[in-house]
Structure 1
Amino acid sequence: MSQAEPTRIKPPTAEQRRIATESFDKANRVISTGNYDYGINLLLTCCKLDPGNTVYRTTLRRAQKAKYRNNLRGSPLAFLTTSRHRARLKVAQQRRDYLAVLEHGEQILSRNPWDLSTQMDMAEAFEALELLDLAVFELDQARQKFGRDATLNRALARLFEKRGNFAHAIKLWQIVKETDPSDLEASHKAKDLAASETIQRGQYEESAQNKGDESDDPRFAPAPAAAASTASKSTTPATASGTVGQAAVDRLTREAAPLLAQIEANPTEASFYLKLAELYRKFRQDDRARAVLQQGLAATGQNFQIQVELMESDLEPLRKNFALTQDKLRKRIAGGLEAADEEHTLEDLRRLQAKLRLEILNREIELYRLKAERFPTDLSHRLELGNRLYLADRIDDAISELQQARKDVRLQGKALMQLGFCFKKRNNWRLAQRNFEEALALLATTDEPARKEILFALASGFAENGDLARAIDMGHELANLDFSFREIGKRLDEWQERLQNAAN
């Protein structure tokens, strides 16, 4: 029998999202009363409807563990009661039906949330579905009980390396080496990644972070400058290892004390967790800030602001890594990398850059979708979501979001321009031309960068579709603004020559 093609995650429909949201709210209510069985069943429904939703999955895992009071073994009869799901999970693995692996895996973890083999299988499924964040989460959960397991730590280290989180990967490879000193891979990995450890604690020049990616349409490039926004706010000096001096520690302790007291007195008030997390970030205590936000998320019933802060905090190191990788790539191309970095080939750097870019895009898509659903009247979130969907090559989804965004007159020009790029990428020049022309009429004359992009898109589009006369007209408009823009002068010469040859 031939194996089925790998399952791909499809975004849930509006109706599926509505059902999942209602089930999630109800699950939180019933779990707060101690009704774990009903709450877990509702959360299983949420995860089935929206398999890639991190909040649903993490809430489910907390509930599963709370049901057994974190006893690290689950139900005494778990092995017997899960045999059917184990068998079906293995069949699903063989067929590469990763969604089925996740569904059967959750049934097993509902009876024993510390089942190592199931967590490893689910992590593989998450990775195959390109849900790296959930793959890391699953293996990290397994480390609660099996923190020194070499196989587990090796798998998690590889995931961190795949995400570009080299500092965490190094720590895990070191644990593997300590567990098995004869493991040559662990020795080599820890040494190879040591030079990249500064990714997690370095601060980079804003110019390096503001340089766009290598997208064909630079107007759509993500803004990695946001990556350093939190670190740049810090006013407290730090040592090279990321720790602060004793005076700063004392100050942090003093300033955190009243906030900790407020949290203890009123644990459901989200603002206290947000303020404490901001304070920890100010002193470069990012791990503590994240721990506070996670604590607040559970205590406040998934407060929206805390969800957003957590998602942003997870994006920050990825953006830093992306900026550093781009910087290394530019130096490699220019032949200026230091000897210590020579083991990273040009292809390695390009592969890492592509992985980081996709990971950032996927997380930003999730973040802006969350904002768009929370604030349906603020269409700027739809514009940002459509932007990221375009970059992720999810063109039809991008068009849907951008068409919603253009209903806001303040966003029309940019939404129409981006719709033009979407239709052009979809090989529908008629619709691309229409949106570009409408955008050009709406965008302010002061927005010269956008106008240049549209003029170039129209000129090149007309040329590609055989309308050389209009291509030349648009090209001259662009040349009048910026003759050096994407070699428009040279292109005009080529188009005029082609037009003359056609006339002869």
Structure 2
Amino acid sequence: MPEITEAELAPNVKALWLKALTAAQTKNHGYAIKLIQSVLKDAPGFLDGRKVLRKCAGNLTGGPKKKSKIFGMKTGGGLGTMKLAGQVKKDPAGALAAIEAELEKDPYSPELNDVLFDAFIALDMKASAAFALETVRQSHPEEIKLMHKLAEFYLAEEESMKAAEVYQDIIKVDHTDSAAIKGEKDATARASMQKQKWGENASMKDMLADSAASEEMEKASRTGLTREQLEERRDQLAAKYAEDQNNLGVVKDLAAIFERLEDWQSAQAYYDWGFQLSAGDVALRSKAEKMGDKVKESAMKELEARAAANPDDPEVKAMLEEQRKANIASAVEDANRRVEQNPTDPVLRYELGKALFDAGDFSGAIPHLQQAKRNPHIQSKVLLLLGRTFKAKNMLDMGVKQLEAALEDLVAMDTVKKEILYEKGLMHDEMGAKDDAISCFKEIYEVDYGYRDVAQRVEASYG
């Protein structure tokens, strides 16, 4: 099924479309939706109409809804997504109207847009398929599985830069997603090759000047290099950088080598330069900021070691205290700037909340931590910090409530659960609820006798 533009609409359909646009512009969204649904029945390949339809439905429903935990259940009544998915397999064209009817109730539904994507793929409507998952990307970036699906789609369509951008969004949500980290690097490399108009059928060996260059690339890809090998690789890249300081690939590789060598200052400088060369690669900016944090951490550790070696030196103590204050103030400033650049990123909200907590601005930290709870991957540590923030404000009952919420989704007794239980026990103890406190400590005692002072607390409770 072909995708069409406004100019290709039949005259009677175009008249409906123009009425729909007028209705949308005057915020008569319900009427606009009815008109566009009629347009799409006659012109299912009209992507611009589908985009306006989604905006109108979004305005009526008030934005993205909280995602259902059970995939395939009914969303707002009508056909369930499982049934729609079955219909797509039998008759993708016929399923479009039914899917759109459900999307009218929840236009940002990840499940429904995923089914819509599959329908468009079956109909060979690639731009419309991309739009379906891009809707999820904008409204539910935490849907990692669908984000990977979108990135893989872009790669298959030779849209490598778009794939790299999707992978960067995944990394924002989950910094530990190794598939996304590798995917972003590979997609960026492919985009660079496409930009230089290397043949699409050329193998990596064909793109290398000779076997020595091939060996160098293979060597660079290894993760188990010794320090000596890393330094050798650093020197090779430095020589290339001296020849061309605007080669983004070399700059990124050099930054990564310095990072692995734990030369944080040099790594920060090269990641920052790479960000400037890339015309705004957010992943490189994030790397530069992290390296800047590492520089501060390293300087702080050196000063702490110096203070520990000279405990009676008032000058060193004063320097240490001054540096701590400066680091806290800098962390708040940096975190504020990052949130201003990307106010919808829950991870950045958490980092700002933590910086404000460290600075003693507990009231300022709370709204940012509350927004950070949207990201399920960091929810436990967000709730833990939020609990501690309420505790710092002497609002112990509210602090306990946050920790109880954090424990709901934790099954295994890992480090995070132990920390939350211990903090909850301390709060109960401070509130005078001794039995509740001991109950928390006992849960830890049963699996980890040596955790902090739980053994002493539990055993003392037996008199």
TM-score, with length taken from structure 1: 0.39
Q: RCO (CA 8 Å, sep 6+): is it higher in 1 or 2? A: 1
Max Rg structure: 2
